Amino acid sequence: MPVECKNYINGQWAETASGRTYENRNPANPDELIAIHQKSNAEDVDRAMTAARAAQRKWALMPAPKRGELMFRVGHILTRRKEAIARDMTREMGKVLAETRGDVQEAIDMAFYAAGEGRRCFGQTVPAEMPDKFAMSIRAPIGVISAITPWNFPIAIPSWKSLPAIVVGNAVVIKPATLTPLSVIHFAEVFEEAGLPPGVFNVVTGSGAEIGDEMVTHKEVNLISFTGSTEIGTGISVTAAKHMKRVCLEMGGKNAIMVMDDAKLELALEGALWGGFGTTGQRCTATSRVIIQKNVAQEFTDRFVAAARKLKLGDGLDLSVQVGPAVSEGQLETVHSYVEIGKAEGAELLTGGRRYTVPGCEKGCFYEPTVFFNVKRNMRIAREEIFGPVVSIIVVDDLDEAIDICNDTDYGLSGAIYTQDVNKAFVAMREVHTGIFYVNAPTIGAEIQLPFGGTKGTGNGHREAGTAALDVFCEWKSVYVDFSGKLQRAQIDDFEQ
């Protein structure tokens, strides 16, 4: 039986004011109805934002170490519920169980990391330029955070936004992706069990078309944290600027692995398979380009194609399955449209390029792992984000050309190089213009203790995860304490004598 889910507002599970609901179905088998969710409207958002504002004022007064202790409880509860949440995530999103377990683990890691930051929200003490004066900086919460999250990491990305924001004293209203709200409903259940005060974390489900504008423009919102497409993120940035709202954007990527002729080909092959087809290519950090030196291009390509053809597709709850479905019929159609574009542009389709309809998968949104060869840098499949199991192989003469093509994109999220030459590795680390870079590893696999984000069209300069997240969700306050008992004028009075 499907689960009937409600919004979570001010510590209460509530039906939407619209009275409408929508269905959430399994992309591996659309006949399976997983859950029924609230189709929220502006009134629901207003209730959630109003509750968040009232709760945040009290929450910010709780000592930060105590807020951190609650994050520890969140981490322990997530650990206990990990398997159940992961299985539901596979059913609602499609990626294989090993990956959804990793998705939940990322939230667990973030909970424990954020918990520690409750005692490490460091400021600075600095020398004052006048006698009998003390100078320091402290972190202060921003207020109410509007979080808009994508479908590909249904609990990891909500945890990146919510946990650091909450531990430093903010309140959160989150709108999960329409396709994957159940994971965030589970996240709210975890917060509720942990004892988070009502109103500090609120969930409204529904479509961006109906409540997205209210999530950005509501008078109580202080910062919008968005992960999703560049098109929508750009629109949010424009709208938010008109309302003087802060924005943290994490958007697209067109990531590349560079394979040098001295690389360990077996290692590079494994990395390209995982980077290109893990999560069915539905990651902003997915390896959608392999840029390879010509001396090893043919051998690598032959082995890569053979390995891609052996990948097992199917329902992600089957532990033998390596590649799950696309998240929806619409996403599958988008992927296929890019395959047709690649063929029309003259790229050589070596494998895949079709819907996967073997018995057991015929009803689902499955797409064959797809490899293009002889791709040129100016082709759309080499420049635009596809967000599916499609990898383009680009042949180059040397490292300089590889780096030039790697950077020749509107995005700058993740990059990688496979080489046994430390000099090449360090040149690439310096010259590739991305926010994340890997040596002898694929473009996916970030860890929460380092900043996550990119350059150029990937975002607006902010970072998630690590201590960098605190700078997103805090603002600095400089404090001066003058105990001289007299007026002292900085930059004016002379205290040399």
Query: Measured between alpha carbons, how far is residue 393 from residues 287, 302, 383, 441 in Å?
Result: 11, 11, 12, 17
Catalytic residue among 106, 250, 385, 464: 250
Answer yes or no: 368 catalytic.
no
How far, in whole angstroms, is CA 259 from its chain's centroid? 26
Q: What are phi and psi of 277, to 5 degrees?
A: -120, -10
- Helix axis angle, 208-217 to 42-59, nearest 10°: 40
Residue (of 443, 461, 445) closest to 453 by Cα position? 461
Q: Sort residue 332 into left (φ over 0), alpha (ψ -120 to 50) or beta.
A: alpha
**Cα–Cα distance, 46 to 497 (Å, whole number):** 60
CA 365 to CA 282: how far, in whole Å?
13
* 250 among known catalytic residues: yes
Which residue blocks in 4-63 are alpha helix, DSSP H? 42-59
Among 284, 361, 406, 474, the active-site one is 284
d(CA 401, CA 380): 19
Distance CA 435, CA 279 (A): 21
How far is it, in rounded angstroms, from Cα 316 to Cα 280?
A: 11
Give the residue numbers annotated as catalytic, written as ranges.
Answer: 250, 284
